[in-house]
Structure 1
């Protein structure tokens, strides 16, 4: 499982306080000497990664430990392992997480942004969609913009694939295929789901 790069940067910054030190042999000590008491002190001693985790938690919340794969990828991995219970469980858990989200169901006017990680062939990019009213209780999902560099021809077939003319839940495909950790949903100008952060 991949660690958060922000946590890695904080840990490395602490480890580099002593140039050329071997991280495995480092310890961090924070000392408080009380004024007017002379020798009375309080100390905290720990490993650099322990201090980094405390700093990270203060800045961003607890480090993410959950699986950063989409529900569909988890289900496919379970299927390859011939684990039918794991496959069904991954899909059912994702469905429950979607339907129990406080912002669910989507509403017309919701903005949905999906972030794609860089691959060897394609740089990191994002797409933004808007939820619309398709009538008869259904909703649409129309692409507004994308940040994939290059020409329109380059982006053809790589963007807009989650657009839907009419659906019960227009974010269903994005939630299961891209994964909730890659989605940001904005309602009335306020983020109601920020998948890339706690």
Structure 2
């Protein structure tokens, strides 16, 4: 099953940006610019044509201006999941950045002192609130690692504070559950990000993501 990427970036800003990029169907976002021109009738410019006043920028730059008018300045400087970092680099046509984000995340996972997971480990996943009201409140999911046999491990959802409809903004609750995997937290680590995870082993936390 395809699992949606988990972003800390405000989804409203992404929607505005994508809406501008879609004005030219099939265009490559990295190649797009937006130009807004004000033309003054009856007032010739230096070249003899109509006098104009022009703003040029990127689709995201325009989206940020719209977003700020509607909701205030977007949040910046927050941690991003490895997959989100790789997707940002891909959009910027930065192949080294894309590969580097994924490789660094894999190395961080495999070099963690608690790696690999063990049956009985408890994994907590935190989702931040979406919007300022908020539109979707902060919530969490709790999983347990089990023995799936043949050296594989499972990941089973124990509890969720998501709305009962499952409309969480990041996919339905329990979307990271797995019946058998070499590393049951692999997808969660890359898609949600290590900063959102807390892992408890034998009653003691061995990984605390987003610790202040």
Whether 2:100 is the aligned partner of 1:86: answer no
Q: Which moved more, 1:71-80 or 1:153-162?
A: 153-162
Given that 2:121 and 2:201 are in contact with CA atoms closer than 8 Å, whether structure 1 keeps it comes out as: yes
TM-score, normalised by the number of residues in structure 1:
0.63
Task: Provide structure 1 residue ranges, at least 5 long, that are not aligned to the other structure.
Answer: 3-65
Which residue number corresponds to residue 103 of structure 1?
A: 114
Q: CA deviation at 1:146?
A: 0.6
Q: Deviations over 1:112-152 (max 9, x none)?
A: 00000111342110000000000000000000001114x3x
Q: CA deviation at 1:101?
A: 0.1
Which residue number corresponds to residue 174 of structure 1?
A: 188
Q: Helix, strand or coil: the match of 1:86?
A: helix
Which residue number corresponds to residue 129 of structure 2?
A: 118
User: CA 1:119–1:195 in 2, change beyond 3 Å: closer, same or farther?
Assistant: same
TM-score, normalised by the number of residues in structure 2:
0.59
Which residue number corresponds to residue 164 of structure 1?
A: 178
Given that 2:155 and 2:177 are in contact with CA atoms closer than 8 Å, whether structure 1 keeps it comes out as: yes
Query: Which of 199, 202, 207 is the equivalent residue of 1:185?
Result: 199
CA distance in 2: counterparts of 1:193 and 1:154, whole angstroms: 27
Greater fraction helix: 1
CA distance in 1: counterparts of 2:151 and 2:98, whole angstroms: 31
Return the structure number with greater relative CO, CA threshold 8 A, min gap 6.
2
Task: Provide structure 2 residue ranges, at least 5 long, that are not aligned to the other structure.
Answer: 1-7, 9-76
Which residue number corresponds to residue 128 of structure 1?
A: 142
Q: Which segments of structure 1 move beyond 2 Å, counting only runs of 4 or more?
A: 153-157
Given that 2:166 and 2:173 are in contact with CA atoms closer than 8 Å, whether structure 1 keeps it comes out as: no
Q: CA deviation at 1:158?
A: 1.8
Q: Helix, strand or coil: the match of 1:76?
A: helix
Aligned length: 132
